[in-house]
Amino acid sequence: MMCLTGTDVEHAARLLRDGGLVAFPTETVYGLGANALSATAVARVFEAKERPRFDPLIVHVHEAAQIERLAPGVPDQARVLIERFWPGPLTLVLPKTDLVPDLVTSALPTVALRSPDHAIALELLRRAGVPVAAPSANLFGRLSPTEAAHVAEQLGDRIDYILDGGPCRVGVESTVLDVSREPATLLRPGGLPLEEIEAVIGPVALGDGREPGESGGRPTPSPGMLPHHYAPTTPLLVVAEIAADVQKLAAAVSPGHAGGAPRVGLLSLTPEDPSRFAAVETLSPTGDLREAAAGFFAALRRLDQQQLELMIARPFPEEGLGRALNDRLRRAAAAHTEL
Protein backbone atom coordinates (compact mmCIF):
# COMPACT_ATOMS: atom_id res chain seq x y z
CA MET A 1 0.00 0.00 0.00
CA MET A 2 1.34 3.46 -0.89
CA CYS A 3 1.52 5.83 2.04
CA LEU A 4 -0.32 9.09 2.01
CA THR A 5 1.28 12.28 0.73
CA GLY A 6 -0.23 15.47 2.13
CA THR A 7 0.28 18.77 3.88
CA ASP A 8 -1.12 17.95 7.33
CA VAL A 9 1.65 19.07 9.71
CA GLU A 10 -0.28 18.14 12.87
CA HIS A 11 -0.89 14.61 11.57
CA ALA A 12 2.80 14.27 10.72
CA ALA A 13 3.82 15.55 14.17
CA ARG A 14 1.49 13.07 15.88
CA LEU A 15 2.93 10.20 13.84
CA LEU A 16 6.46 11.21 14.91
CA ARG A 17 5.44 11.36 18.58
CA ASP A 18 3.90 7.88 18.23
CA GLY A 19 7.06 6.32 16.79
CA GLY A 20 6.10 6.61 13.11
CA LEU A 21 8.18 7.38 10.02
CA VAL A 22 7.50 10.70 8.31
CA ALA A 23 9.26 12.11 5.26
CA PHE A 24 9.40 15.91 5.44
CA PRO A 25 10.81 18.78 3.39
CA THR A 26 13.86 20.77 4.41
CA GLU A 27 15.74 23.49 2.54
CA THR A 28 18.36 20.90 1.43
CA VAL A 29 16.63 17.59 0.60
CA TYR A 30 13.67 15.63 1.98
CA GLY A 31 14.43 13.85 5.26
CA LEU A 32 13.03 10.59 6.61
CA GLY A 33 12.21 11.44 10.21
CA ALA A 34 11.69 9.47 13.40
CA ASN A 35 11.71 10.35 17.10
CA ALA A 36 15.46 10.57 17.82
CA LEU A 37 14.96 9.61 21.47
CA SER A 38 13.31 6.29 20.60
CA ALA A 39 15.68 3.53 19.48
CA THR A 40 12.67 1.55 18.21
CA ALA A 41 11.50 4.38 15.97
CA VAL A 42 15.04 5.01 14.73
CA ALA A 43 15.50 1.30 13.96
CA ARG A 44 12.60 1.62 11.51
CA VAL A 45 14.51 4.35 9.62
CA PHE A 46 17.47 2.03 9.05
CA GLU A 47 15.13 -0.75 7.91
CA ALA A 48 13.10 1.40 5.52
CA LYS A 49 16.24 2.84 3.89
CA GLU A 50 18.16 -0.45 4.01
CA ARG A 51 20.88 1.66 5.58
CA PRO A 52 23.83 -0.02 7.30
CA ARG A 53 23.94 0.68 10.99
CA PHE A 54 27.49 2.03 10.88
CA ASP A 55 26.16 5.18 9.18
CA PRO A 56 24.93 7.61 11.87
CA LEU A 57 21.94 9.95 11.51
CA ILE A 58 21.56 13.72 11.82
CA VAL A 59 19.26 14.91 14.63
CA HIS A 60 17.03 17.86 13.74
CA VAL A 61 15.87 20.53 16.21
CA HIS A 62 13.62 23.56 15.84
CA GLU A 63 15.69 25.83 18.06
CA ALA A 64 19.21 25.90 19.41
CA ALA A 65 17.97 25.71 23.03
CA GLN A 66 16.87 22.12 22.33
CA ILE A 67 20.45 20.88 21.97
CA GLU A 68 21.30 21.49 25.64
CA ARG A 69 19.94 18.03 26.62
CA LEU A 70 21.52 16.28 23.64
CA ALA A 71 24.94 17.94 23.50
CA PRO A 72 25.82 20.25 26.38
CA GLY A 73 29.24 21.88 26.48
CA VAL A 74 29.00 23.45 23.05
CA PRO A 75 32.40 25.07 22.33
CA ASP A 76 32.42 28.85 21.75
CA GLN A 77 33.29 28.41 18.11
CA ALA A 78 30.22 26.23 17.58
CA ARG A 79 28.04 28.75 19.39
CA VAL A 80 29.18 31.42 16.98
CA LEU A 81 28.33 29.20 14.03
CA ILE A 82 24.90 28.37 15.45
CA GLU A 83 24.13 32.02 15.96
CA ARG A 84 25.26 32.92 12.48
CA PHE A 85 23.95 29.98 10.40
CA TRP A 86 21.01 28.30 12.18
CA PRO A 87 18.45 27.59 10.99
CA GLY A 88 20.35 26.58 7.87
CA PRO A 89 22.23 23.89 5.94
CA LEU A 90 24.98 23.41 8.56
CA THR A 91 25.20 20.21 10.63
CA LEU A 92 27.46 20.32 13.69
CA VAL A 93 29.03 17.23 15.25
CA LEU A 94 29.25 17.57 19.04
CA PRO A 95 29.88 15.31 22.06
CA LYS A 96 26.56 13.70 23.03
CA THR A 97 24.72 12.76 26.21
CA ASP A 98 23.21 9.35 27.06
CA LEU A 99 19.81 10.68 26.06
CA VAL A 100 20.75 10.08 22.42
CA PRO A 101 20.44 6.34 21.65
CA ASP A 102 23.61 4.65 20.36
CA LEU A 103 21.71 3.55 17.29
CA VAL A 104 21.36 7.19 16.17
CA THR A 105 25.11 7.81 16.31
CA SER A 106 26.33 4.33 15.39
CA ALA A 107 27.76 4.16 18.92
CA LEU A 108 29.98 7.22 18.34
CA PRO A 109 30.45 9.52 21.35
CA THR A 110 29.25 12.42 19.17
CA VAL A 111 25.93 13.44 17.66
CA ALA A 112 25.29 15.42 14.45
CA LEU A 113 22.80 18.26 14.95
CA ARG A 114 21.08 20.71 12.68
CA SER A 115 18.14 23.08 12.48
CA PRO A 116 16.63 23.22 8.97
CA ASP A 117 15.80 26.57 7.38
CA HIS A 118 12.33 25.58 6.24
CA ALA A 119 9.08 26.87 7.73
CA ILE A 120 7.20 23.55 7.43
CA ALA A 121 10.10 21.54 8.85
CA LEU A 122 10.44 23.92 11.81
CA GLU A 123 6.70 23.82 12.47
CA LEU A 124 6.76 20.02 12.33
CA LEU A 125 9.69 19.82 14.76
CA ARG A 126 8.04 22.30 17.12
CA ARG A 127 4.75 20.40 17.15
CA ALA A 128 6.39 16.97 17.43
CA GLY A 129 8.07 18.21 20.61
CA VAL A 130 10.94 15.73 20.21
CA PRO A 131 14.24 15.96 18.33
CA VAL A 132 13.93 14.15 15.01
CA ALA A 133 16.58 11.86 13.52
CA ALA A 134 16.44 12.11 9.75
CA PRO A 135 18.68 10.91 6.96
CA SER A 136 17.85 11.86 3.39
CA ALA A 137 14.60 10.10 2.39
CA ASN A 138 16.03 7.75 -0.24
CA LEU A 139 17.07 4.11 -0.30
CA PHE A 140 20.65 3.81 0.96
CA GLY A 141 23.23 4.84 -1.62
CA ARG A 142 20.74 6.23 -4.13
CA LEU A 143 19.99 9.75 -5.37
CA SER A 144 18.69 12.15 -2.73
CA PRO A 145 15.06 13.36 -3.02
CA THR A 146 14.29 17.02 -3.58
CA GLU A 147 10.54 16.58 -4.21
CA ALA A 148 7.81 14.60 -2.43
CA ALA A 149 7.32 12.43 -5.53
CA HIS A 150 10.98 11.30 -5.37
CA VAL A 151 10.35 10.01 -1.85
CA ALA A 152 7.16 8.21 -2.88
CA GLU A 153 9.02 6.45 -5.71
CA GLN A 154 11.60 4.82 -3.45
CA LEU A 155 10.01 4.62 0.00
CA GLY A 156 6.26 5.06 -0.59
CA ASP A 157 5.31 1.60 0.63
CA ARG A 158 7.59 1.62 3.67
CA ILE A 159 6.77 4.78 5.59
CA ASP A 160 3.73 6.34 7.28
CA TYR A 161 3.41 9.77 5.69
CA ILE A 162 5.08 12.14 3.24
CA LEU A 163 4.69 15.78 4.20
CA ASP A 164 4.75 17.68 0.90
CA GLY A 165 6.46 21.07 0.94
CA GLY A 166 7.23 21.37 -2.77
CA PRO A 167 10.75 21.32 -4.23
CA CYS A 168 13.73 21.93 -1.91
CA ARG A 169 15.37 25.33 -2.27
CA VAL A 170 19.06 24.42 -1.76
CA GLY A 171 19.05 20.95 -3.33
CA VAL A 172 22.19 19.40 -1.82
CA GLU A 173 22.50 18.06 1.73
CA SER A 174 23.82 20.12 4.62
CA THR A 175 27.50 20.78 5.21
CA VAL A 176 28.71 18.51 8.04
CA LEU A 177 31.33 20.09 10.31
CA ASP A 178 32.96 18.31 13.26
CA VAL A 179 33.32 20.90 16.01
CA SER A 180 34.07 18.29 18.69
CA ARG A 181 37.76 18.55 17.73
CA GLU A 182 40.30 21.29 17.03
CA PRO A 183 40.51 22.55 14.40
CA ALA A 184 36.93 22.24 13.21
CA THR A 185 36.88 19.63 10.42
CA LEU A 186 34.74 19.45 7.30
CA LEU A 187 33.24 15.95 7.04
CA ARG A 188 30.92 16.61 4.10
CA PRO A 189 30.77 19.62 1.77
CA GLY A 190 27.15 20.73 1.43
CA GLY A 191 24.59 23.48 1.20
CA LEU A 192 26.55 26.00 3.26
CA PRO A 193 29.72 26.90 1.33
CA LEU A 194 33.02 26.33 3.14
CA GLU A 195 34.03 29.91 2.34
CA GLU A 196 31.14 31.25 4.44
CA ILE A 197 32.15 29.11 7.42
CA GLU A 198 35.81 30.10 7.15
CA ALA A 199 34.85 33.77 6.95
CA VAL A 200 33.43 33.38 10.47
CA ILE A 201 35.80 30.94 12.26
CA GLY A 202 38.93 30.93 10.09
CA PRO A 203 40.56 27.93 8.36
CA VAL A 204 38.77 24.59 8.60
CA ALA A 205 40.53 21.23 8.24
CA LEU A 206 39.32 19.09 5.36
CA GLY A 207 38.28 15.70 6.69
CA ASP A 208 39.51 13.80 3.68
CA GLY A 209 43.06 15.05 3.92
CA ARG A 210 42.82 17.16 0.76
CA GLU A 211 43.86 20.76 0.49
CA PRO A 212 41.18 23.16 -0.72
CA GLY A 213 40.86 22.86 -4.49
CA GLU A 214 42.78 19.58 -4.69
CA SER A 215 40.83 16.84 -6.44
CA GLY A 216 40.84 13.09 -6.05
CA GLY A 217 39.54 11.21 -3.06
CA ARG A 218 41.00 9.73 0.04
CA PRO A 219 38.55 8.20 2.52
CA THR A 220 37.00 10.64 4.98
CA PRO A 221 36.72 9.93 8.71
CA SER A 222 32.94 10.41 8.56
CA PRO A 223 31.27 7.04 8.68
CA GLY A 224 28.81 6.57 5.87
CA MET A 225 30.73 8.78 3.43
CA LEU A 226 31.27 5.92 1.03
CA PRO A 227 32.96 6.46 -2.32
CA HIS A 228 29.90 4.88 -3.98
CA HIS A 229 26.83 6.90 -3.19
CA TYR A 230 24.08 8.80 -4.95
CA ALA A 231 24.10 5.97 -7.47
CA PRO A 232 22.14 6.41 -10.67
CA THR A 233 21.38 3.23 -12.66
CA THR A 234 22.97 4.60 -15.85
CA PRO A 235 26.78 4.80 -15.90
CA LEU A 236 28.02 8.34 -15.29
CA LEU A 237 31.36 9.59 -16.53
CA VAL A 238 32.90 12.82 -15.20
CA VAL A 239 35.36 14.25 -17.71
CA ALA A 240 37.29 17.52 -17.88
CA GLU A 241 36.86 17.70 -21.66
CA ILE A 242 34.11 16.06 -23.65
CA ALA A 243 35.60 14.01 -26.49
CA ALA A 244 34.40 14.75 -30.00
CA ASP A 245 33.09 11.23 -30.41
CA VAL A 246 30.91 10.64 -27.36
CA GLN A 247 29.40 7.55 -28.96
CA LYS A 248 32.77 5.81 -28.76
CA LEU A 249 32.82 6.37 -25.02
CA ALA A 250 29.32 4.97 -24.70
CA ALA A 251 30.23 1.89 -26.73
CA ALA A 252 33.16 1.27 -24.38
CA VAL A 253 30.86 1.57 -21.37
CA SER A 254 28.18 -0.79 -22.62
CA PRO A 255 29.87 -3.15 -25.09
CA GLY A 256 26.80 -5.36 -25.09
CA HIS A 257 24.69 -2.59 -26.56
CA ALA A 258 22.99 -3.77 -29.74
CA GLY A 259 21.27 -1.82 -32.48
CA GLY A 260 21.67 1.84 -33.38
CA ALA A 261 24.09 4.42 -32.01
CA PRO A 262 24.52 4.37 -28.23
CA ARG A 263 22.47 7.08 -26.53
CA VAL A 264 24.51 9.55 -24.51
CA GLY A 265 23.11 12.18 -22.14
CA LEU A 266 24.81 15.32 -20.85
CA LEU A 267 24.43 16.98 -17.46
CA SER A 268 25.73 20.48 -17.99
CA LEU A 269 26.13 23.54 -15.81
CA THR A 270 25.57 25.95 -18.71
CA PRO A 271 23.82 25.63 -22.11
CA GLU A 272 25.63 23.37 -24.55
CA ASP A 273 25.22 22.36 -28.22
CA PRO A 274 22.75 19.45 -27.88
CA SER A 275 23.40 17.88 -31.30
CA ARG A 276 25.76 15.10 -30.12
CA PHE A 277 23.49 14.03 -27.26
CA ALA A 278 20.28 12.06 -26.94
CA ALA A 279 19.35 14.24 -23.95
CA VAL A 280 20.78 17.34 -22.27
CA GLU A 281 20.00 18.72 -18.81
CA THR A 282 21.18 22.30 -18.27
CA LEU A 283 21.42 23.32 -14.64
CA SER A 284 21.73 27.10 -14.94
CA PRO A 285 21.57 29.35 -18.01
CA THR A 286 23.96 31.78 -16.30
CA GLY A 287 26.24 29.23 -14.62
CA ASP A 288 24.93 30.11 -11.15
CA LEU A 289 26.01 27.34 -8.74
CA ARG A 290 23.09 27.91 -6.35
CA GLU A 291 20.60 27.43 -9.14
CA ALA A 292 22.57 24.40 -10.32
CA ALA A 293 22.48 22.80 -6.86
CA ALA A 294 18.73 23.36 -6.52
CA GLY A 295 18.04 21.35 -9.68
CA PHE A 296 20.95 18.89 -9.54
CA PHE A 297 19.37 15.68 -8.18
CA ALA A 298 16.12 16.12 -10.14
CA ALA A 299 18.07 16.63 -13.39
CA LEU A 300 20.24 13.57 -12.73
CA ARG A 301 17.07 11.57 -12.03
CA ARG A 302 15.45 12.69 -15.30
CA LEU A 303 18.54 11.73 -17.31
CA ASP A 304 18.75 8.43 -15.49
CA GLN A 305 15.20 7.57 -16.56
CA GLN A 306 15.82 7.93 -20.30
CA GLN A 307 17.36 4.54 -21.07
CA LEU A 308 20.70 6.06 -22.01
CA GLU A 309 23.88 4.01 -22.37
CA LEU A 310 25.94 6.74 -20.73
CA MET A 311 25.63 10.05 -18.89
CA ILE A 312 28.47 12.57 -19.09
CA ALA A 313 29.21 15.55 -16.86
CA ARG A 314 32.08 17.99 -16.44
CA PRO A 315 33.29 18.90 -12.95
CA PHE A 316 31.86 22.11 -11.49
CA PRO A 317 34.14 24.99 -10.42
CA GLU A 318 35.54 23.90 -7.01
CA GLU A 319 34.14 26.89 -5.10
CA GLY A 320 30.94 27.76 -3.24
CA LEU A 321 28.29 25.09 -3.82
CA GLY A 322 30.49 23.63 -6.58
CA ARG A 323 32.42 21.78 -3.87
CA ALA A 324 29.28 19.91 -2.74
CA LEU A 325 28.20 19.32 -6.35
CA ASN A 326 31.59 17.82 -7.27
CA ASP A 327 31.45 15.58 -4.21
CA ARG A 328 28.01 14.22 -5.23
CA LEU A 329 29.07 13.89 -8.87
CA ARG A 330 32.24 11.96 -7.96
CA ARG A 331 30.32 9.53 -5.78
CA ALA A 332 27.54 9.06 -8.34
CA ALA A 333 30.19 8.25 -10.96
CA ALA A 334 32.04 5.88 -8.63
CA ALA A 335 29.06 3.55 -8.68
CA HIS A 336 30.41 2.44 -12.07
CA THR A 337 34.14 2.36 -11.44
CA GLU A 338 34.79 -0.39 -13.98
CA LEU A 339 35.30 2.46 -16.46
User: 288-317: which residues touch Mg ion (CB under 5 A)?
Assistant: none
Is 197 near ligand TXA (CB under 6 A)? no
Is 48 near ligand TXA (CB under 6 A)? no
Is 146 near ligand TXA (CB under 6 A)? no
- CA separation for the pair 173, 328 (Å, rounded): 10
> Of 154 and 268, which has the nearer Cβ to Mg ion?
154
Torsion angle (degrees, nearest 10) of CA 159, 156, 154, 34? -20
Which of 20, 165, 171, 224 forms a contact with ligand TXA (CB under 6 A)? 224
- CA separation for the pair 306, 236 (Å, rounded): 13
Is 188 near ligand TXA (CB under 6 A)? yes
Q: Give φ, ψ of 162 to 5 degrees.
A: -115, 115
Is 136 near Mg ion (CB under 5 A)? yes
* 36 Cα distance to chain centroid: 19
The terminus-to-terminus CA distance of the chain in angstroms comes to: 39
User: 158-187: which residues touch ligand TXA (CB under 6 A)?
Assistant: 173-174, 176, 187
> Of 105 and 326, which has the nearer Cβ to ligand TXA?
105
Polymer length of the chain: 339
User: 61-120: which residues touch ligand TXA (CB under 6 A)?
Assistant: 89, 91, 93, 105, 108, 110-112, 116
Is 145 near ligand TXA (CB under 6 A)? no
> Of 224 and 262, which has the nearer Cβ to ligand TXA?
224
Q: How many residues bind ligand TXA (CB under 6 A)?
A: 29
Q: DSSP letters along 192-250, please?
A: S-HHHHHHHH---EETTSPPTT--S----SSTT--SS-SB-SS-EEE-SS--S-HHHHH
- Residue numbers at the binding site for Mg ion (CB under 5 A): 136
